[in-house]
Amino acid sequence: MRRPKLDSQAGAYLVTAVAAAVLWAAWLGWDQHRDVHPDGSTTGPYEAWQVIGLVLTLLAPLYWAASRQDVVGAVLGTTTGMTVAAFVDWSDDASGLYMVGVALVMLGTLAATAATAATIATLTRRR
């Protein structure tokens, strides 16, 4: 018996949303300080290797869902998880500009996961 598509999409959505939020916490959630350089400039709070690690580990749940042809659930779940995690992590910013960053995370995640999930689904489609 074939599984209903709605249940499949909901499962993919939940798995990728939870995975994205947990991976954000694991890679980025613990680093909250900015680095001050001798010239007074600041960087951070994240290092490039943390963001690269997050992106690479997000490929695993995205691949799992997209290879099952659950592209919509994979894209929306990953985008939701990343957006919620960014909002929670950055919401203590007094300037209010964190919402711009959250919106950019949402749009970037949506675009990147849509392209990646569509590619994975196409390459893994059973004929």
* Phi/psi of residue 31, nearest 5 degrees: -100, 100
pLDDT tens, 51-61?
999 999 999 99
Q: What percent of the chain has pLDDT over 90?
A: 66
16, 62 Cβ separation under 8 angstroms: yes
Q: What is the DSSP string of 43-107?
A: E-SS-HHHHHHHHHHHHHHHHHHHHTT-HHHHHHHHHHHHHHHHHHHHTT-TTSTHHHHHHHHHH
- Tell me the domain boundaries of the chain: 5-124
pLDDT tens, 15-48?
999 999 999 999 998 877 777 878 878 777 888 8
83, 20 Cβ separation under 8 angstroms: no
Q: What percent of the chain has pLDDT over 70?
A: 94
Say which amino acid occupies 108. Answer: G
Arithmetic mean of pLDDT, 69-85: 96
Alpha-carbon span 127 to 125, nearest angstrom:
6
26, 51 Cβ separation under 8 angstroms: no
How much is the pTM? 0.86
Arithmetic mean of pLDDT, 92-99: 86
